[in-house]
Amino acid sequence: MIQKSPFVTKEIKRLFIISLLISSVTLSCTKDSDRSNNSSESNPITVFEPVDRDFDDIKESGVLRMITFYSSNTYFLNQGIEVGFEYELLKEFARENDLAVEVIIVGAEENPFDLLNKGIGDVIAANYTITPERREVAKFTRPYNIVDQMVVYSSELRDRPQTLDELSESGIPISVRRNSSYYSRLMELNEEEYNFNIDPISDGMDTEAALFQVAEGNLVATVSDDNMYNSSNRYMEGLYPGPVVAESDTIAWAIRSNATELESKMNRYLYKHFRFSEDKDEPRRSTFLNVLRKKYFEQSRQMAQYYNPEWQYQSMGVISPYDEMIRTVADSIDIDWLMLTAMIAQESSFNPNSKSWAGAVGLMQIMPQFVDSTAYENYQELYDPMTNIRLGAGIIKEHIEHYSYIDSTEQQWAFALATYNVGPGHMADARRLTIDQNKNPNDWDAVSGSLIKLMQRRHYQKARYGFARGIEPVQYVEEIMNRYRTYQAILALTEQQQAAGFTNVLGPTFNR
């Protein structure tokens, strides 16, 4: 086991607090409220009839929309890069099916099953247990994980019960959300033979937030999935394991009840990564799934590297390490800084030393041959973050201005992004092809179809600039737009959290 130095523990705790500020109060369900049933008092389900949208429709759109919550193992931003156990598992499914992933973050007054059945999203990937109540409104895939529900104590509690009988007799308050499966399970046990002292806490506090309060000694005990406990125990001090209250909960993705083709595709994918052995004793997991589990849940060197204490996030609402630079540059030329941030994530994953096979370098992957050599005599200057951002922003600004006659700002950005990726020559060819097909050359959907057609010989041999791998700019635009919308949602949640104040997370007590 890797030892936790005081410095690492302190920094990790600080980073963790920042993530909680975004997730634990504003969202009425995160990670495991996500595990609330359809009688949740906060956000009851209102849509029971699903729209007609199956895998063929998703494939035609090119985008799989993931409904989830902002938490440390479902989905979150790490230095601007989208990560999380659920996100990475679903993204691999999307990759195998040539789909982009758009993340739909559940808002404070939204129910994920309503978002699913309305067609706003296509799959709920949020560490969901399969329950009879949920089966009434959605269908579930094969399971991809099994967890035990366990009591977790504060290490400040001296006499920690080791069995359920001892816990029942002790009268120790067990703090759980009323709309969680943990609460339901404790109530079931009380109806059977126990007398647990159940302490309802705010529905806005997710399992991570409750564990943090237990670690700090502000709560005496709570209930958590064992994988969540293992993950939290890696970077929180003050947690102590207690008895198991439920064994072998199955975790799966939720999809619309009429999405039979999507269910089949997902089940085949999940079967490759998780299935039971012949004796049904131990599940068999793929190497890929084991790597994800180790990365997010187990005490491993990968986890220690993942929570790098050098990441100096000083406030909420931080998207990337270069937010201040990006804002400064974007404001100076009057473009959307968040879209510029989404571009940098796509181009270089915020790695200032990135260099492509074609020679593009830096945060915005600038091609040296297209830069004024007299202004940048030293090639290494292009690796300077501010220099690179200024150059890239200047280029995208020129493209936006080129398409300024298009009414829609979103359409202007789509054309500008595609031009940044594939070049103005291929874009001109695609627009001419669009005109030849009696379609609107100022409509991105029409032109994106033409870009893809430029991969076909009968079309590109007539084009001035020849063959273009048109699928790449189309996916490039789609992924940046999706990421941009996700960034917007995260910042909106942050603003709501700031307006609500921090005391519910950092204070010594919570509103009951």
Active centre residues (catalytic): 347
**What is the residue-wise DSSP string for 228-276?**
HHHHHHHH-SSEEEEEEEEEEEEEEEEE-TT-HHHHHHHHHHHHHHEEE
- Those residues whose C-beta lies under 8 Å from the C-beta of residue 357, and which sit 6 or more positions away, are none
C-alpha of 453 from chain center: 32
State how far the Cα of 148 lies from the Cα of 181, in Å rounded to an integer: 12
To the nearest 5 percent, what fractions of the chain are helix, strand and coil?
50, 15, 35
Angle at 122 (CA atoms; ends 120, 128), nearest 5 degrees: 110
HEC letters along 394-422 = HHHHHHHHHCCCCCCHHHHHHHHHHHHHH
Both structure tokens of 145: 């994980």
What counts of helices (H) and strands (E) characterise the chain? 21, 13
State how far the Cα of 473 lies from the Cα of 418, in Å rounded to an integer: 5
DSSP category for residue 319: -
3-class state of residue 155 by DSSP: coil
Question: Are the beta carbons of 40 and 111 closer than 8 angstroms?
Answer: yes
State how far the Cα of 334 lies from the Cα of 327, in Å rounded to an integer: 10
**What is the residue-wise DSSP string for 166-198?**
HHHHHT-EEEEETTSHHHHHHHHHHHHT---EE
Q: Where are the beta strands (DSSP E) in 277-392?
A: 283-285
Cα separation values, 478 from 81, 102, 393, 408, Å: 16, 9, 19, 16
Both structure tokens of 35: 């595990």
Phi first, then psi, for residue 151 (nearest 5°) are -80, 140
C-alpha of 222 from chain center: 25
Q: Which of 297, 298, 295 is nearest to 306 (CA)?
A: 295
Both structure tokens of 55: 């895998």
3-class state of residue 200 by DSSP: strand
Dihedral sign from CA coordinates of 188, 193, 199, 205: negative
Q: Tally Cβ neighbours within 10 Å of residue 442.
A: 17
Dihedral sign from CA coordinates of 488, 351, 102, 111: negative
| Exposed/middle/buried for residue 71 (C-beta within 10 Å: 0-12, 13-18, 19+) | buried
* Alpha helices in 25-111, H assignment, sequence order: 55-61, 85-96
